[in-house]
Amino acid sequence: MKLNGKIVLVTGASSGIGAATALAFAAEGARLLLAARRASKLAEVASRTLERGAASVHSIDLDVRHHHAVQTAIDDLPPEWAEIDVLINNAGLSRGLEKLYTGKTEDWDEMIDTNVKGLLYVSRAVIPGMVVRGRGHIVNLGSTAGDLPYPNGAVYCGSKAAVHAINDGLRQDLLGTPVRVTSVDPGTVETDFSLVRFRGDAGRAAKVYQGLTPLSAEDVADAIVWAVSRPDHVNIARITLTSVHQANSLLFHRES
């Protein structure tokens, strides 16, 4: 009942962790603001959240990389959707798996613009209202990659290390307000993440999960809802979760 009727904004809500998180909050009776670039897939998720129990849903066609578009989308929300209680900064991606000195600069731009700048743009647009209203919770999707870089992933890992620093700095900036800040940092999760990284190469993406049981998007969504549903005076600073087949971003146990 704690989340019933709360307005929850989820970015990158059209698939993967974002979609699973939307469905998990729907089951708690939340009101959902769903944002993503792929409007048709977002519409499918919105329909499923209503079936799952969402009090209501409002969808936004949004690319978080564009500052003006983000600010306009938040400023132009209907009055009944304007008072956002929970922000899930989930939009993010990885492109390529190459050595830094052979990497594609366009891939770097896409990762940094989405994973770092997009998170900042949405946060800047939403958090001032939380401070004024005296309530709110921001959940930033980090990664075990932000703790320990792995070969050929320096820029993606760097973007997630930036999320950790921004998350912790934001919590300090909000000290003295009731607004809470949490980083949820999963290890390997079986979603379209690897398919996006390898630009649709399904065979290469499948090898990422070969021989192990990864996390599911629902596992991560469960952790997010748990953190948000703690008592108002409790701030879960950071959650790191992996499957039992993963120790960190470098060390895996794969069954033969």
Q: Which amino acid is at 112?
A: I
Task: Name the DSSP letter for residue 134.
Answer: T
For residue 52, what are its two tokens?
Answer: 């799952």
Q: In whole angstroms, give the CA distance from residue 42 to residue 183.
A: 24
**CA-based nearest residue to 50, from 36, 64, 34:** 34
139 with 163: CB under 8 angstroms? no
Active site residue 156: yes
Q: List phi, psi (to 5°) of 197.
A: -55, -40
**Calpha distance 223→226 (Å, rounded):** 5
Q: Which of 101, 121, 150, 156 is catalytic?
A: 156
Give the dihedral sign, CA 232/120/200/184. Answer: negative
For residue 206, the one-letter residue type is: A
CA 130 and chain centroid, separation = 19
In whole angstroms, give the CA distance from residue 64 to residue 155. Answer: 19
- Residues involved in catalysis: 156
